[in-house]
Amino acid sequence: MVLNTLRNLRAHRSAAASRIAETSRPADGDILLETIGLTKTYAGADGELPVLGGIDLKVRAGEIVALLGKSGSGKSTLLRCLAGLVPPSSGTATYRGEPLTGANPGTAMVFQTFALLPWLTVQQNVELGLEARNVPADRRADAALQAIDLIGLDGFESAYPKELSGGMRQRVGFARALVVEPDVLMMDEPFSALDVLTAENLRGELMELWESGQFPTRAIVLVTHNIEEAVLMADRIVVLGSRPYGTIRETFEVGLDRPRDRNSAAFDELIDRVYRTMTGRPKETRLPGRPEGVGPDRRTAANTPLPTAGVDSLSGLAEMVLHRGGSCDLADLADRLGLEIDDILPLVDALDLLGFAKISGDDLLLTDIGTAYAGADVQQSKSIFAEAALGAPLVRLITTSLRQNPDGTLRAGFFRDVLAHHFTSEQVTRQLEVATDWGRYAELYSYDAEPQEYHLDEDSP
């Protein structure tokens, strides 16, 4: 019903959009947002923890820019710096040439988790931004109704969020952002909390509005971990790397006509190029005091964090690759499994760290030891994994520390304190969870959650 209503109201929407976008708009190509040498760090137990390092970026009127990267690459932090919600530690972030000193007046945000107030109706939620700007009630109501109509929510004005599906709730988020007539719409993974069909529908309608000229905004900045989504929507894709902090690894000009054909050779070729960049290991720009390269002999728990990958998951991926002859195209594998980039890349990083696989072009290749691991029985795989896991710095640190302690026991707090010098508290928790999983499987050590203690395994190699 909503789709039919949406199609029938397109002519009316055009008039509504014209009324929303009455203010003057910059011409296509004008620089709306810019960062120069932007860095962002957060306070840690032993100094500053870098998140972004030296970001130079321009967002121009008339374009959609996708920020793409693994979890931890700083893409959401960069979005918030552009929105003026997070101040840079150094460098500058500007809107129309003016440095930001607070919330960016030319942007509005759509969040992954909808962020609606459950006690307010759809119309009241949409009016929130206007109310914060002290817009009179009658003008607020008129603008909100126009935005609701534009985004396909006509008839739901008096509904409460609990009465809406996930897709309809996200429509409210879009209407709330667009009603303030931003120059730039900021979207932080706006479709990732929706089911596949709903996300596809909403994404398609959004692009229809953008192409039709009815969209009351001059540019879009989209944070996503979905490569296909970035290629489908964006004019420019900015890939962020995350070792050891967020930097721009590469920028792709998409250059494909809309509507885009997912089955075209050009579409597939660009996806493969982006995958290659996401999974590659080019040397990255370094912050002062950081080593230029990290070889196996220089790996530490600080400069080589454990990928967020459980043993079962990385073992499953190794077995899948083995069944495909020991090598496979990453993009094809992810597509066949229905996985997103954030799902598969930590597993690839884990296999690489353990020496079980390597990346060659677009392909993931099992090494000799990786082939042996993937084809071994349970006991053999444990033995192979134990030897490989000792090459992972944090696993090695825990094992070595336990061996040097007379009773083979250490509190988890010891390792938390060590890691806290280099990671946030949330990152420390994730690192220890992975290290615990790997160490238990390898039978290097055990962990007792009640006293929060690690214990050396008596048969530890």
Domains in the chain, please, with CATH? 2-279 (3.40.50.300), 311-456 (1.10.10)
Say if residues 247 and 54 touch (Cβ distance below 8 Å). yes
pLDDT of residue 67: 94
3-state helix, strand, coil in the chain (%, to 5): 45, 20, 35
pLDDT of residue 395: 93
pLDDT of residue 193: 75
**Does the bond joining 182 to the residue before it have cis omega, within 30 degrees of 0?**
no
Low-confidence residues of the chain: pLDDT under 70: 1-25, 43-48, 243-244, 280-297, 340-342, 459-461
Three-state DSSP state, 352: helix
Which residues have CB under 8 Å from 449's CB, separation 6+?
none
Q: What is the pLDDT of residues 375-394, one digit of tens each?
A: 888 888 889 999 999 999 99
Which residues have CB under 8 Å from 13's CB, separation 6+?
149, 150, 214
Nearest residue to 80 (alpha-carbon basis) of 246, 191, 273, 231: 246
Cβ burial 241-266 (10 Å sphere, 16+ → b, else e): bbbbbbbbbbebebebeeebeeeeee
pLDDT of residue 22: 43
Determine the Cα–Cα distance for residues 57 and 92; give it in Å rounded to an integer: 11
pLDDT of residue 275: 83
pLDDT of residue 459: 66
Phi and psi angles of residue 7, each rounded to the nearest 5 degrees, phi first: -65, -40
Which residues have CB under 8 Å from 442's CB, separation 6+?
382, 385, 386, 389, 395
Look over the chain and give the mean of its residue pLDDT values, rounded to a whole number: 82
